[in-house]
Amino acid sequence: MIAALIVLPICALLLFSTPARAQSTSQPVPENATAKSYGDGWKCNAGYRLSGDGCAIVIVPANAYPTNRTYGSGWECLRGFRKNDDSACVAVTVPDGGFLDPSGERWQCSRGFLKIDDTCQEIVVPANAYLAATTYGPAWECKRGFEALDNLCVAIVVPANGYLNSSRYGQPWTCERGFIEQDGLCTAIVIPEHAYLDDATYGTGWKCERGYATSGVSCEIIDLPANAHLDRSGNRWDCNKNFQLSKGLCILDN
């Protein structure tokens, strides 16, 4: 009797806790569609694309091909054609001296031609020049030893004791060691006593030895006051630590 009383509540609990079978809520598969192989839903067949709650046939215009994709327009233009208003494919007009780019929808000018509006104009390369490899800036560059002047390449006049440098800007030539540029010429550097050649591209071309200072066109010995030392340049002096400059002397800090 006690066992029967225990079994009855358990059975009732199981009865009420068992879920009811859910009814299918999936949409019916429309015409020209196929149910997905996994999950719920459906997809349009090849040659059709989603349109509202159904599948509309993809209308492929002339000079196009179907992509068999269910999204987008469902078609792409053939190479040499481009989309026009998403409803037609019009031919890409390639001017003389041009070619279709890798996309097949646009064109570029061939080497030796320059794009001007919708045309490719042939580049006129002057004597002693060559076509540039850049897509911007001048279409041609002068050969080594020449410089551009009024759409021509004229020879660079290098003075005696000078040589062509590799700079693309500024002075195209440099004076040899021991010479300095003055008024378009390379003039020999006169080195005073207690000086040596300085390879800097500016200045006098020479520098005083350590312990000497420039004075006009000569080098004078530096007269070090007491409690002073030459600085790192070797051509000036500073007061020692705990000393300060006062009227040309180094005096002890108070």
Residue numbers of the domain that contains 248: 223-254
First to last CA, the chain: 115
Q: Both 214 and 234 in a single domain? A: no
Q: Both 238 and 211 in a single domain? A: no
Element of type H or E holding 246: strand 243-246
Phi and psi torsions of 179, nearest 5°: -130, 155
Q: Which pTM was predicted?
A: 0.55
**Residue 128 forms part of a structural domain:** no
**Residue 75 forms part of a structural domain:** no
| 239 neighbors 226 (Cβ within 8 angstroms) | no
**Residue 74 forms part of a structural domain:** no
Q: Total domain count for the chain?
A: 2
44 CB contacts (<8 Å, ≥6 apart)? 32, 33, 50, 55, 70
Q: Name the token pair of 185.
A: 């010429």
**Residue 250 forms part of a structural domain:** yes
Tens-digit pLDDT string for the chain (254 aa): 344 444 444 444 333 333 333 333 467 899 989 988 887 888 888 888 888 888 888 999 999 999 887 677 889 999 999 999 888 999 999 999 999 999 999 999 999 999 999 999 999 999 999 998 776 767 899 999 999 999 999 999 999 999 999 888 889 999 999 999 999 999 999 999 999 999 887 788 999 999 999 999 999 999 999 999 999 999 999 999 999 999 999 999 87
